[in-house]
Amino acid sequence: MKAVIVREFGGPEKLVIEEVENTSPKANEVRVKIKAIGLNRAEVAARVGKYPLPKKPPIRLGFEGAGVVDAIGSDVKEFAIGQRVSIIPDGSSHVVQGTYAQYCNIASEWLTPTPESLSDEESAALWMAYLTSWAGLIDYAGAVSGDTVIVTAASSSLGAPTFQILAREKMTSIATTRSSEKVERLRLSGPDYVIDTSSEKLVQRVKEITGQAGANIAYDCIGGPGVKDLVRALSFDGKVLFYGMLDSRPMDLTPMALMGNRISLLSFIIFHSLADPEIRTRGVRYVHEGVADGSFRPLIDRTFPFEKISEAHEYMQSNQQVGKIVITVG
CB distance 8 to 14 below 8 Å = yes
CATH number at 23 reads 3.90.180.10
Q: Of 252, 271, 290, which one is at a domain's C-terminal end?
A: 271
Question: Distance of CA 88 to CAs 15, 78, 162, 214, 254, Å?
Answer: 23, 15, 18, 35, 39
Q: Which of 50-64, 215-229, 272-286 has the lowest mean pLDDT?
A: 50-64
Residue 305 has pLDDT above 80, yes or no: yes
3-state secondary structure of 256: helix
Q: Band of the pLDDT at 246, cuts 50, 70, 90?
A: confident
Residue 222 has pLDDT above 80, yes or no: yes
What does the pLDDT look like over 107-132, one tens digit per residue? 999 999 999 999 999 999 999 999 99
On whether both 265 and 136 belong to a single domain, the answer is yes
On whether both 202 and 142 belong to a single domain, the answer is yes
Residue 94 has pLDDT above 80, yes or no: no
Report pLDDT for 180: 86
Q: Which of 91-100, 251-260, 286-295 has the lowest mean pLDDT?
A: 91-100
Q: Of 235, 253, 271, which one is at a domain's C-terminal end?
A: 271
Report pLDDT for 95: 62
What does the pLDDT look like over 8-21, one tens digit per residue? 999 999 999 999 99
CB-based burial, 103-142: b 16+ in 10 Å, e otherwise: bbbbbbebbbebbeebbbbbbbbbbbbbbbbbbbbbbbbe
Which residues are CB-contacts of 284 (< 8 A; sequence separation ≥ 6)? 88, 112, 127, 131
Find the mean pLDDT for residues 92-116: 88
On whether both 243 and 304 belong to a single domain, the answer is no
Spatial distance between the Cα atoms of 326 and 329, rounded to a whole number of angstroms: 10
Phi first, then psi: give them for residue 173, nearest 5 degrees.
-110, 135
Assigned domain for 285 exists? no
CB distance 215 to 195 below 8 Å = no
Residue 91 has pLDDT above 80, yes or no: no
Q: What share of the chain in percent tops pLDDT 90?
A: 88
Report pLDDT for 97: 62
On whether both 119 and 204 belong to a single domain, the answer is no
Report pLDDT for 55: 76
User: What does the mean pLDDT of the chain come to?
Assistant: 95
Spatial distance between the Cα atoms of 37 and 326, rounded to a whole number of angstroms: 6
Question: Distance of CA 256 to CAs 188, 225, 290, Å?
Answer: 38, 16, 40
On whether both 104 and 179 belong to a single domain, the answer is no
Assigned domain for 169 exists? yes
State which residues form the domain around 28: 2-126+298-328
H-only helix segments in the chain:
41-47, 93-97, 120-124, 127-133, 159-168, 183-188, 202-209, 227-232, 255-259, 270-274, 277-292, 309-317
On whether both 153 and 265 belong to a single domain, the answer is yes
On whether both 253 and 133 belong to a single domain, the answer is yes
Domain tally, the chain:
2
Rg (CA), the chain: 20
On whether both 92 and 175 belong to a single domain, the answer is no
Question: Of 197, 130, 136, which is closest to residue 159 (Cα–Cα)?
Answer: 130
CATH number at 192 reads 3.40.50.720
3-state secondary structure of 209: helix
Q: pTM score, two decimals?
A: 0.95
On whether both 210 and 315 belong to a single domain, the answer is no
On whether both 100 and 210 belong to a single domain, the answer is no
What does the pLDDT look like over 204-220, one tens digit per residue? 999 999 999 999 999 99
On whether both 195 and 84 belong to a single domain, the answer is no
What's the maximum distance between 2 C-alpha atoms anywhere in the chain? 61
